[in-house]
Amino acid sequence: MRPVYLHGSAVSTTWRDASRSLTDLIFECVRTALGTAGISAADVGATVLAAHDLVDGRGLTSMVTAPAAATYLKDETRLGDDGALAFVLGDARVRSGSVDTCLVAAWGRASEGPIDEIAHALFDPFTARPLALTEIAVSGMRAARCLGDFPGYGRWRGAAAARRGVRPADPSRVPATAWPLRAGELPVWADVVAAVVLGSQPGPVRVGGVGMSTEPYELGDRDLTGLTALRTASAQALTDAGVDAASIDVLELDGLTLFDEALAAEAVGAAARGDGMSLLANSPRVNAGGGSAAGYCAPAMGLVRVARAAERLRNATTSQVGLATGASVVAAQVQAAVVLEGA
Amino acid sequence: MTGPAELAILGVGQTPYRRRHEGSTPELVYGAVRAALDHSGLEHRDIDLVIGGFAPDALAGENCPDKRFLPAAGAVGKWSMRINTGGTTGIAAAYAAMDLLEAGRGDAALVVGVERMAQARSVPAVFNSIFDPIYERDTGLSTVSMGALRATRMMQSWGYTAELWARVAERNFAHAASNPLAHIRTAYSVGDVLTSRMLAWPIRQLDACPISEGVCAVVIARTSAAARQRGRPLARVRGRATVTDTYNMGDRIGRREGDLVELLTLRMAAQRALGQAGLASAADADVVEIHAPFDHAETMAYAPLRFCAAADGPALVESGFGHRDGGGPVINPSGGPMAANPVGATALIRLAECALQVMGAAGERQVPGAATAVATGQGGSTQFSTCTVLSGS
Amino acid sequence: MGESAAGKVPPLTIDGHWAFDYTYYAGDAASRFFAELANRRIMGTRCPQCLRVLVPARGFCDACFVETTDWVQVSPHGTLETFTILTTSFPGLPEPPLVVGYVMLAGASSAVLNFVDGIDLTDPDAAGTAMLGRPPVTARFKDVCEGRITDFVFTLDEPA
């Protein structure tokens, strides 16, 4: 297997920019990512995309949107799953030697569709939809459990929320809350595109290792605060890279709300059980750009976290190691973890 | 395939394909996966990756239905992801599994293609919703009219007629009669096709695939890991390629590199996959499963698969090409998508049927002595094409 | 004590409704294309690399992966490159039968999809066969343009 390097990346976060269609947003972000990698569309050997039909409001979205991601007469596939999972598949394409350069892109435009209703449609029509469940509601249940079990969550939630930056005034950008979540702990909906260029030639960031795991669909079958899939995925990624959790300098953790991010910090081993919120409040290592409050729309977010981690490694003055995670829909049923190593 | 890991299909499990299944999606998936594992000789614990294919969500009335059915395929605690590339979804899911296996991300994978479109009571409206909402949706485009626009152009360019295409349909239905899994098992005649209901001129009901439900599961493994399965038949992956075109059909009208009906993406994919397998033409295979939901679409694939020049397609149909007893390659011994077309599974079924043929495990529809088989996949606005070559062990 | 799993009850179904409302942003290129329809002009954009005039107008050329530059007005006259006769009814669309087809307008490099009006469809086979020869067509604008692709339709220059 060959080593894989991250050559370029781009993230665009906008809101209701009427001057741009969805395909315009994808085209511009992908072009920027290719630019940072110093290559043209012609150099791309394969493309792996992540997008959801229902978020995009297009019955088979990649039919209309894939060509905006430099796929013309190319080897291309699309996941209806989180962007970090697409990154893992893109990494495999280069690692195996099947292509030398692979573009990975993911997007979601929250301003075009009814995000809360779409999240409701994720749930079982027999057992959960009649109960008005959304993913925010699941985060609310996670938060309630944390506040009940761990005193640190109550103590540090205010300070951790304050680090997430100023919340936009537009009420349509924040979902209706579910107790005990507070407004500053919720995601801020955005029109998000992320793109990453992977290659076999040495580049500024190396992909050290990857991992992935899956939880049951039924919420009652899961350990809602233990994030079993993320524990497994990050342990695999760390083992694959030959590093331990303590040596991670840069953490970019995907979570819908502040509480999901705090639980993710525990699951990857960056904080002890019950100390995740304290880490978010006090450590500059985690989600330096504000996490889900800096703009959120599935299924782009795992790839956003990878791109943000890569940026931070590129900008670091010393050689550092980063860990990025991505969570799928239905309240983080599938999780992927990626270890990145700066040059 | 000369990749870093040699890959093979070890097992296939399928539900029958029917207009409607009464079981829940997880139940249907579990049944097909159980059958695929049993066929492969592997156990659930041997599986490292589970890749699910489903398309489009609106046909099920569920957002990301894969999250509900992947656990039934044994995904919990393992790597899993969902692929959605429209018509090619099933084969794209298989390719994702192959890519991960070749990168050393596991030894064995389960691929599951699923369709529950009977849950939608508004199928034409769903198929209209796939088109560009800004420039094209207002014109009432659907998957059928999208096909019809190509059929008309093939009549203009190469002299195809409704009668010729009806002969292709008749052969597919004749083959399907010996496939117990097929949705349509009536041996409709040319006359039946030509008098069936008009859907979108020149396409009639029996020129087109039915609306079908069902699940196809395939076990794929690195051959090094499959070594302990010695004695069991394998279907080795000899070549594979996928190519994507522009969405815009209007951009392909008169395009220098390949017109709308020249199927440039399949030509490119076939060239690569056949080349990897050392075949000059798909006609050198014993079995070819063509992913074509319409009879005209099957004939559109003939030139890209190097059966003949595009202009000679009508004469090739006239010659009775593709029949089980015709001497040349047998086209769609399963009956093909015209006999069952569960969208999220259909391209994987083409692969699975080819695997069964070269493993000698195709039962009533077995082509005697089949050693090499070619499967195609076709999706989007006829813009995603795949070509896979399999051979027996 | 557990009961046997063999006991069979009638399968349960529940009704679902699947409707989501969207606001699609057309973007600058399509917005201008639609605005120009009100001026009775059909516009394309030129790719600076392959020099194709893309109709309807696009902000970028997906083949060359560059932004388009010049705006070009194309002729309302063109050729019916391919078509079909629709028989399926859609909510909010005119009642079938309808003819829809791709037209290559003079000055354009790509064909545009729209309805073809004014054709006698009493015998669809006769009507369809008569139009197979790539007949010339002309875009006719509606009296009131709404900024939709259906602001114009094509008609045959000579009756089929």
| Residues A193 and A46 grouped into a single domain | yes
Which of A199, A233, A266 lies at the terminal end of a domain, its last residue? A199
- Predicted local distance difference test score (pLDDT) of residue A15: 97
| Residues A194 and A276 grouped into a single domain | no
Let me know if residue A180 belongs to a domain.
Answer: no
Domain encompassing residue B111:
7-121+211-229
Residues 6+ apart with CB under 8 A from A53: A59, A60, A61, A80, B56, B57, B58, B84
- The verdict on a CB contact (< 8 Å) between A57 and C22 is yes
| Residues A337 and A227 grouped into a single domain | yes
Q: Which residue has the higher pLDDT, B321 or C159?
A: B321
Which of A199, A227, A244 lies at the terminal end of a domain, its last residue? A199
| Residues A230 and A318 grouped into a single domain | yes
- Predicted local distance difference test score (pLDDT) of residue B5: 58
- Predicted local distance difference test score (pLDDT) of residue B4: 44
Chain C, nearest residue to B57 by Cα: C18
Residues 6+ apart with CB under 8 A from B82: A79, A80, A81, B51, B52, B53, B54, B64, B66, B67, B70
What is the distance in angstroms between the Cα of A243 and the nearest Cα belonging to chain C?
Answer: 39
For A162, the enclosing helix (H) or strand (E) is helix A151-162
- Identify all chain C residues contacting B254, using CB atoms and an 8 Å cutoff: 81, 104, 111
- Predicted local distance difference test score (pLDDT) of residue B274: 98
Which of A199, A225, A254 lies at the terminal end of a domain, its last residue? A199
Let me know if residue B168 belongs to a domain.
Answer: no
Let me know if residue B49 belongs to a domain.
Answer: yes
Q: How many domains does chain B have?
A: 1
Domain encompassing residue A314:
205-342
Q: Which amino acid is at B19?
A: R
Which member of A59, A71, A80 has the closest CB to residue B58? Answer: A59
What's the gap between Cα B385 and its chain centre?
10
Let me know if residue B64 belongs to a domain.
Answer: yes
Average per-residue pLDDT in chain C?
92
Structure tokens at A176: 């209706």
Interface test with A, best of B27, B85, B266, B348 (most A CBs within 10 A): B85
Chain C, nearest residue to A121 by Cα: C18
- Identify all chain B residues contacting A122, using CB atoms and an 8 Å cutoff: 63-64, 67
Let me know if residue A338 belongs to a domain.
Answer: yes
- Identify all chain C residues contacting B250, using CB atoms and an 8 Å cutoff: 55, 102, 110-113
- The verdict on a CB contact (< 8 Å) between A20 and C22 is no
What confidence tens digit (pLDDT) does each residue in C77-121 have?
A: 999 999 999 987 777 778 889 999 999 999 999 999 999 999 999
**Any idea where the domains of chain C sit in the sequence?**
27-156
Let me know if residue A139 belongs to a domain.
Answer: no
What is the distance in angstroms between the Cα of C74 and the nearest Cα belonging to chain B?
Answer: 15
Which member of B139, B153, B251 has the closest CB to residue C115? Answer: B139
Task: Report the C-alpha gap between B66 and B51 in whole angstroms.
Answer: 9
Chain A, nearest residue to C18 by Cα: A121
Let me know if residue A75 belongs to a domain.
Answer: yes
- The verdict on a CB contact (< 8 Å) between B198 and C83 is no
Structure tokens at B122: 């508004």
Confidence label for C5 from pLDDT (cuts 50, 70 and 90):
low
- Predicted local distance difference test score (pLDDT) of residue A125: 87
Q: Where do we find the tokens 């009536």?
A: B186
CATH number of the domain at B116, please: 3.40.47.10
A338 and A207 in contact (C-beta within 8 Å)? Answer: yes
| Residues A195 and A224 grouped into a single domain | no
| Residues A193 and A290 grouped into a single domain | no
| Residues A239 and A318 grouped into a single domain | yes
φ/ψ (deg, to 5) at B385 = -130, 140
What is the distance in angstroms between the Cα of A66 and the nearest Cα belonging to chain C?
Answer: 9
Interface predicted TM-score (ipTM) of this complex, two decimals: 0.98
Q: How many CB pairs under 8 A join B and C?
A: 123
Percentage, residues of chain B above pLDDT 90? 87
DSSP B213: B
| Residues A209 and A330 grouped into a single domain | yes
Interface test with C, best of A20, A27, A43, A297 (most C CBs within 10 A): A27
Let me know if residue A177 belongs to a domain.
Answer: no
- Predicted local distance difference test score (pLDDT) of residue B2: 40
What's the gap between Cα B330 and its chain centre?
16
| Residues A272 and A338 grouped into a single domain | yes
HSE-CB of B376 using CA atoms within 13 angstroms: 37
- Predicted local distance difference test score (pLDDT) of residue C6: 65
Give the residue from A138, A103, A155 showing the smallest Cα distance to A274: A155
Given a cut of 60, whether residue C1 has pLDDT beyond it is no
Let me know if residue A178 belongs to a domain.
Answer: no
Let me know if residue A153 belongs to a domain.
Answer: no
Chain A, nearest residue to B343 by Cα: A60
- The verdict on a CB contact (< 8 Å) between C29 and A21 is yes
Let me know if residue B96 belongs to a domain.
Answer: yes
Let me know if residue B71 belongs to a domain.
Answer: yes
Which mean pLDDT values do the consecutive 10-residue runs of chain B (393 residues) have?
A: 70 97 95 97 96 92 94 97 98 98 97 94 82 88 93 97 98 98 98 96 97 97 78 93 97 96 98 98 98 98 98 97 94 98 97 98 97 97 97 91
Let me know if residue A128 belongs to a domain.
Answer: no
What is the distance in angstroms between the Cα of B217 and the nearest Cα belonging to chain C?
Answer: 24
Residues 6+ apart with CB under 8 A from A25: A12, A14, A17, A107, A109, A191, A193
- The verdict on a CB contact (< 8 Å) between C25 and A27 is no
CATH number of the domain at A330, please: 3.40.47.10
Q: Collect the ranges in chain A with pLDDT lower than 50.
A: none
Average per-residue pLDDT in chain A?
96
